Amino acid sequence: MSLFNFFTCCIPSRPPIQEHAVILKMPDVVTKEILKNLDFASIRKLRKVCRAFRDFIDCVKPDSNLESINLEVRADIIFTSFSTLSQSTEDIEFFYKEEDMFNGKNICLMERGFFRHATFENNCADLCVDDFLRPALKHQKSLMDELRVIKHLEFDENRQPFPQNPGKFVVPTFEKLFDGLINVLESRDRLLQVESLLISVHGQDQLMQLLRHVDLKVLQCLKVYRLLETEQFWEYGEDNSEFVLDLDILKDCENLEILIVRRFSVCSQLRMLTHIPSMKLIMQTIYYADVLRVIQTMEKSDIYARSEIRFEQFPDKSRFLEAIGLVEDGSVELVHVFPSKLVLAYYPALKCMGFKWKHRS
């Protein structure tokens, strides 16, 4: 045996240096590819590891691939859920809850089920925006099924609303969340594409603020609710004439199939909306010709359309009723079936017309 071989056999060799794989040390192209294949729940967890991860993700801008977002707001709680395109299980649900003040600061708990995830010195609206809404929507590129940001409604067995916690008010909390949503949408470099949009608003300005950031060409369903501190289960008989919405912006929404507006009076001409097969709203003024357009749209629609149109003024109502053979005779309900089997139910006292399809045996 040579002297060299002897020494190499007898002298212990230096152990090899072990290098652990660190994702931030990987080439950018590899890291970007990894992020492309992660769902939003995983990306959201990565953002919380360190600032470097958060900055890198914001730079790469991976698509969140979200299918739906649901936020329902109470005075001190925001219920949150979302689903992703790759998700095979049920929606991921959690909530942000404010506790009593501690040393003059808000204490907000982020919880999921019965497990407390973390505690923050913040209010629930700001925490929801920073922890969830901003990372969820800022880089969303794919088409979403639904975005729902509404006041949480809950009624007891007598159809009376459950009160908020004493001393707590839902409107300030919701307004903080809404402002955060608009701030996130303004930071995007593209319109948000969503098929179904459900939103609570105070009035025209907030609705227009939101719709300016939504791709109206792909919108199929829009539901708008007036934000109130307290509301009753039934809205019939309420006077909403002071709370007006102009919906002319929807006149070119060719794919819009469902429009529901609650506790607002719509000042737009009905002809601006007659391309929408299913509607539930209160119109300030309607006309015979526009009602005929509504009927024609419903008869041509591929969906099972139903509409309820309440009105404040109907100047040529007698002409319309005469044309279809109805006479106001003091009846609570007047019914007419068109040749297409579309049924009109007219309630004179409520100033309401309902359209639906007759059931076939």
pLDDT of residue 131: 87
pLDDT of residue 175: 96
pLDDT of residue 46: 64
**Tokens 């060799």, residue located:** 13
Structure token pair of residue 160: 């009376």
Q: Is the pLDDT of residue 22 over 90?
A: no
**What's the average model confidence in pLDDT over 196-218?**
97
Mean pLDDT of the chain: 83
**What's the average model confidence in pLDDT over 90-119?**
70
pLDDT of residue 94: 86
- Model-level pTM? 0.83
CA 144/CA 63 separation, integer angstroms: 12
Burial of 351 (0-12, 13-18, 19+ CB in 10 A): middle
Which tops the pLDDT comparison, 93 or 215?
Answer: 215
**Tokens 């299918």, residue located:** 67
pLDDT digits (tens, 9 = 90+) for 271-306: 999 999 999 999 999 999 999 999 999 999 988 899
- 266 DSSP β-pair partners: 245, 283
pLDDT of residue 289: 96
Distance between first and last Cα of the chain: 101
Closest CA to 246 of 267, 221, 224, 271: 267
- 280 DSSP β-pair partners: 260, 308
Parallel, antiparallel, or unpaired: how do β-strands 307-313 and 352-357 relate? antiparallel
* Local confidence band at 56 (pLDDT 50, 70, 90 cut-offs): low
